[in-house]
Structure 1
Amino acid sequence: MEHTRRFERLWTAEDVSAYLGVPVKTLYQWKWRGEGPPVRKIGRHLRYDRAALQTWLDQEAAA
């Protein structure tokens, strides 16, 4: 049986900005400081995995 992995679209900084209600500039500052949600840099663009973002939010809420 062949296993296929389903890939979801990665969120842009603009997507995450709207979702969290923070400016895009804040996301770039968090990346530079090593803070904030897990992020991948693809070329010069920041991309976020929705599941990793939700895990980060859950951990922040528990802290």
Structure 2
Amino acid sequence: MTNTTDTSLDPLRLLSPAQVSQLTGIPIETLSRWRKRNANLPYLHMGRNVRYRAIDIQHWIEQHMITPTRTLD
């Protein structure tokens, strides 16, 4: 039996622009602009639908992680 309330992402799951926007806080309009410029996030065209692979979103987030290099005393 699978847990339907699990919030972890299956790496092969395909996400809509609205879902990516909700996960990342990036406005849907910005995602659309990025697609037109072929920039930032990889995406799929499936018929008329645009989808993003969850694994690509996860990698993109990890690439933009900033880790502090010092501590404040």
1 or 2, which has the higher helix percentage? Answer: 1
- Consecutive unaligned residues in structure 2, runs of 5 or more: 1-10, 67-73
Could you tell me how far apart the structure 1 residues matched to 2:47 and 2:53 are?
16
The alpha carbon displacement at 1:8 in A equals 4.0
% identity of equivalent residues: 32
- Counterpart of 1:19 in structure 2 is 23
Could you tell me how far apart the structure 2 residues matched to 1:42 and 1:58 are?
26
The alpha carbon displacement at 1:31 in A equals 0.7
Q: 1:12-47 CA distances to partner (integer Å, 9 max, x unpaired)?
A: 000001111121111111011111211111112210
User: Under a length normalisation based on structure 1, what TM-score does the superposition of the two structures give?
Assistant: 0.73
What RMSD over aligned residues (CA atoms) do the two structures have, in Å?
1.8
Q: How many residues align?
A: 56
Q: Is the 8 A contact 1:38 1:56 kept in 2?
A: no
User: Under a length normalisation based on structure 2, what TM-score does the superposition of the two structures give?
Assistant: 0.65
- Consecutive unaligned residues in structure 1, runs of 5 or more: 1-6
- Counterpart of 2:13 in structure 1 is 9
Larger Rg: 2
- Counterpart of 1:38 in structure 2 is 42
